[in-house]
Amino acid sequence: MSKKVAIISTCAINTEEYKAFPREIEQIRSMMALERPTWDYHFFDIFNGEFPDIAVFDAFVYSGSPSSVNDNDAWLTGMFDYIRTVFAAEKPQVGLCFGHQAIAKALGGRVDYSPLGWSIGTVTTDYTDHTEWMTPALPTLRLFASHNEQVLQLPAGARLLAKTAECPHAAFSIDNRVFATQHHPEMEKAFVEHIVQIESASLTPAQIAKFTQSMVQPDDSKVFAGWIAQFIENASENAIK
Q: Is the peptide bond before 37 cis (omega within 30 degrees of 0)?
A: no
Of 24, 149, 166, 186, the catalytic one is 186
Residue 186 designated active-site: yes
Of 24, 97, 147, 149, the catalytic one is 97
| Residue among 150, 160, 153, 103 nearest 130 (CA) | 160
Dihedral angle, C-alpha 167, 88, 25, 217, nearest 10 ° = 30
Report the relative pairing of strands 149-153 and 110-113 from DSSP bridges: antiparallel
Maximum separation of any 2 CA atoms in the chain, in Å: 53
Of 147, 169, 183, 184, the catalytic one is 184
CA–CA separation, 179 and 170 (whole Å): 11
Residue 184 designated active-site: yes
Q: Residue-wise over 158-181: b if at least 16 C-beta within 10 A, else e? A: beebbbbebbebbbbbbebbbbbb
Residue 97 designated active-site: yes
Beta strand segments in the chain, E: 4-9, 40-45, 59-62, 93-96, 110-113, 119-127, 140-147, 149-153, 159-163, 171-174, 178-181
**Angle at which helices 221-237 and 24-35 pack, to 10 degrees?**
80
Q: Which residues are catalytic?
A: 97, 184, 186
